[in-house]
Amino acid sequence: MGAKRVEERLLCAFGLMREAPVRFESCEALPLGGVLFLLPFLLECGLLSYRNHYIERSSGYYNFDNLFILIAFLYLCRIKSFEQTKHYSPGEFGKLIGYDRIPEVKTLRKMVHEITTQNRTGEWMSALCESWIDEENPELYYIDGHVQVYHGYLANLGKKYVSRQRLCLPGVMEFWVNASDGSPYFFVTAEVNEKMGEMLVSEIIPELLKLHPVSAERMNRMEECPEEPVFTLVFDREAWSPSLFSLLWETYHIAIITYRKNVEDQWDESLFTDYQVVTSLGETKMKLHEQDFCHEKCSMREVRKLSSEGHQASIVTTNKILSTQSVASHMFARWAQENFFHYMRQEYALDKIIQYSIDKIDDDIQIVNREYNNITHQIKKAREKLSRRKAKLYGHEQKDLMQLTEKESKKWMKTRLELTEEIHLIEQQVESEVNKRKEIPYKIPLSQMPESIRYNRLNKESKTLQNVIKMICYRAETALARLLTPHYKRANQEIRALIKSIIHTPINMEVDRNQELLKITLFPLSNQRSNEAVCKICDTVNATNTRYPGTNLKLILKIATPRFLPGEEV
């Protein structure tokens, strides 16, 4: 359907032409054409930098440039899987990439397979991350785990706790590293059931030390002030471990900010002072107080925030130079990363899988023993039952025997003996299970697991490729949002919705081959303030002189609305 360049398709099929050229034609009312407004930002964020890492196709009607641009356009248009392209006109969408139609689903999957068999996606992600970090030079990194829940039957995956569903479900654990505004840098995937603390030491810290630049100015500051860290990590209670915090500081000179776990004491509310704290929504007033905190030979600063209801949120840090309000600001900014996960799951189907293939895991890898976990679960249930029986016995013994009749007293005594005997039996059961657990190793090599339940894993390469392209799309959206924000009211609440409206708006496309121009005219949006905001950024985007990849056509973006703003003469 929609295939018009038949001769070129035949030549490519017989190997007489390496690839078909990109060729645009003038057209009107092209659906989803607003996605072309994101093309300069996609290129700026490194979408086509894959060329430095992958080998180009030897032959084929489409090349890898077409594939990467098309996949990015699909994600930006909220087409969340290749199968969903069946419900869109292939010819109309093909005009957006300069072809008669987009590839069929099987062709898309074949091309993705050609890419993933090169096993270069991790290398490409590292190069992208290095360029982003060099450009932004952050001093803080936000780290959080995300569970990609698996509902299939091919893979045998370990169970993870999914906080958003409050269930333990089979899935893949990914640990993401983001900027303070939520923009992603990179992620690492756990093999089986590694915790955040393990992944920090084995995967994340080495990668950050390799990618994080330390400028000469920064080096001089660190020499003058030994308490200044190389960088600071921000994460939640999952990685709470004072021994880990001490290791990070003493070995790598890396500071942390996190919530304190198991807080039992309360500070006097008269100690708290009002501070002006900068947040993503502007400045806000917080009641804060700071004290020194020592735990297991790890000296930290503890900052607490007092809420209007009297709750005290405890934050600890090994960063010795940040102000009290900065510690609170950075910790509470962690919600930007939570919002990133929510947005990516909802808009980009972050957990979608491209290829349903299975890989083996190294047999020598150490995994948590299932038998150990099963006994631990039984002990936990028995202790819960024991607590309930003791509570019931305590309530039973509080009755006043003097007010009971003789019959009621006998019944009381019989119930007391039954509860006491039951408690004794449960205590013996708990002791027996605990002794049994001592004889079982906590971790075993994967090879010792029974073959029928032995863990394997989903193909990492295709999922990594998909996530990298989604990261680029998110960063492209963010770059456009920053450009629009000064010209749009309520930008904090509506700027992403405006970008989504731009993407889904039709365009007119005009090709001027004499002047080598590709003119894109966006249809008017739903309200005047949106039209004005887009109108004001068109000149800035056009000044980048972006040319569509594979052609000499320069993109000229505009919106089909009068260029008269309030206060100007008509």
Q: How confident is the model at residue 26 (pLDDT cuts 50, 70, 90)?
A: very high
Rg for the chain, CA atoms, rounded: 30
Q: 260 to each of 241, 253, 314, 474, 507, how far by Cα in Å?
A: 10, 20, 6, 32, 53
Cα–Cα distance, 410 to 406 (Å, whole number) = 6
CB count in 10 Å sphere of residue 552: 10
Residue 367, C-beta contacts closer than 8 angstroms, at least 6 positions apart:
158, 192, 193, 443, 444, 445, 446, 449, 455
Lowest mean pLDDT among 76-90, 121-135, 143-157: 143-157
pLDDT digits (tens, 9 = 90+) for 167-209: 888 888 999 999 999 999 999 998 887 889 999 999 999 999 9
% of the chain at pLDDT higher than 90: 64
Please tell me the predicted confidence (pLDDT) of residue 67: 94
pLDDT digits (tens, 9 = 90+) for 397-414: 887 777 777 788 888 888
As a whole number, mean pLDDT of residues 328-344 equals 93
Q: 369 to each of 401, 429, 441, 457, 542, how far by Cα in Å?
A: 51, 21, 7, 17, 59
* β-pairing verdict for 232-234 and 255-259: parallel
As a whole number, mean pLDDT of residues 13-41 equals 93
The yes-or-no verdict on residue 72 having pLDDT over 90 is: yes
**199 vs 568, higher pLDDT:** 199
**276 vs 2, higher pLDDT:** 276
Q: What is the pTM of this model?
A: 0.88
